Amino acid sequence: MVNLDGVLRREWGPAVAAIAWWSGDLSIAEDAVQEACAEALRAWPHDGLPDRPGAWLITVARNRATVISCGANLRVLERNWRP
């Protein structure tokens, strides 16, 4: 049995660093990796540990960061839009 907590603790820092570099926003990176870790805790017990858990986390977190960034950009546009 794999210790998922240990895997996620080991991969957290590198994943946050990668997403922060990619997105340019540490806050978005932390939120995205947190959501990716939650997804891992749901998926991995059922699907099994991926061959490269860090790469899996970064991929899922990058997708989440994209969604988070788009939502933030839309809120800024809505706030500044004048008919």
Q: How far apart are CA 57 and CA 29, in angstroms?
A: 12
Cβ–Cβ < 8 Å for 19, 57: no
- pLDDT of 81 > 80? The answer is no
Question: How is the chain split into domains, by residue range?
Answer: 16-80
Separation of alpha carbons 28 and 69, rounded Å: 7
pLDDT at 1 over 90: no
- Secondary structure E strands in 1-83: none
Question: pLDDT of 23-75, one tens digit each?
Answer: 999 999 999 999 999 999 999 999 999 999 999 999 999 999 998 887 665 55
